[in-house]
Structure 1
Amino acid sequence: MKQERAERTRHALVCSAAEVFDRLGYERASLVRISNTAGVTKGALSFHFATKEELADAVEDLAWRMTRQAVQDAAAGGGTALQNLIDVTHALARLLSGNAVARAGLRLSRERDRDGQAEQPQWFSAWLPQVRVLLEEAARDGSLLPEADVQALAVLITCTVTGLETAQRVPGHLSAALPDPGPAGPLPAPGRAWLARIWHLLLPRIAPDDHTASTKAEGTL
């Protein structure tokens, strides 16, 4: 029971730290600010995490595990590899629009000093390998055109996902550019709405006609 309570406290501290890292970034975040957000003393926080580096490691680890699970679930959707790939991008967009831990994981992967190491940022390694696997599967199962540039698509998807996260940090930036949905009803969250439009533009250029017609650019989540 005592160990379970300590684990719950540790998890709550990590989530509070994620909110601060997401909002302020790694350099501006402090243990004092994080402890205030968590509603505990700095001493209580230090009992679980001696340094800001340890706390950031824990946030990145949780963001990695959370993102990896969401991506695995989306990739197992049962559709074509291309549809599963689209679903993965929507799962990522949904995480980044509504989950401070995931956003903090992305931001920390960009901002933390890795001592000059060339290792891949942790958050990106939670989903980029799956994107590459699905692109290769799509090339094999015929849901991608033979001439589709798989490497360029991987880069485009990476830029799109990270770009949506950056744009969403500016209040109203994405939603202001979207048209009034009118009688069709409300659009999904702005990040996912833009993602669907991007896939609508891409599909005729990367997929055979029969797959273009049957593939859902808005995802099947």
Structure 2
Amino acid sequence: MKLLSFFNSSASYRVRIALGLKGIEYQTEGVNIRIGEQQQLAYRRLNPTGLVPTLIDDQGDAHGQSLAIIDWLDRQYPAQPLIPADGAARDKVLEIACVIACDIHPINNMRVLRYLTDELKISETQKNQWYAHWIAQGMGAVEQLLKRSSGRFCVGDTPTLADCCLIPQMANALRMNCDLSSYPRCLAVWEACQGLPAFIAAAPENQTDKIPA
């Protein structure tokens, strides 16, 4: 199995965590999205969106979109499930994951930030204000959701898809110097995850394709 990813991509980070939690061995191939490698024809043939990550399974089939990849992994490798099969826990996991992956991340990812600066010509200060505004909006919602669901992790005491999404989003927010002190439940989950091998191995600073900022 091969994961085509970028070390600092939140979506790639999610899938690396999931693979680690499930104990699945895989190879990593870096795709440098800073210089547009994801737009090359060979990559677009695998993933028409031109986004990372792409997971190539043992049969050579390509899978895109991080949440869809993790759902596929859960069905193919049901040990250590990351999405509960049913009930309230499943609802909570998917709600938290979707707030992060669908509401927070898309409007703060690299291609949006580049459009703001390169095309709309906003300043670096304005870009950072944009980023911080949407982090505050989204993380405030996640903090309230965790009031209803969190134990040691986002939903109860076992890592799930929700944690696979939360940790990369928090890592990006910290990298952008966002103040996360208003989200104590999120920070508690962050601390719980930092000691787990799957999260350590998946961290951007531990990737073979890491490049300077």
Q: Pick the TM interval, shorter chain.
A: 0.3 to 0.5
Task: Return the TM-score normalized by structure 2.
Answer: 0.33
Structure that is richer in strand per residue? 2
Task: Return the TM-score normalized by structure 1.
Answer: 0.32
RCO higher in 1 or 2 (8 Å CA, sep ≥ 6)?
Answer: 2
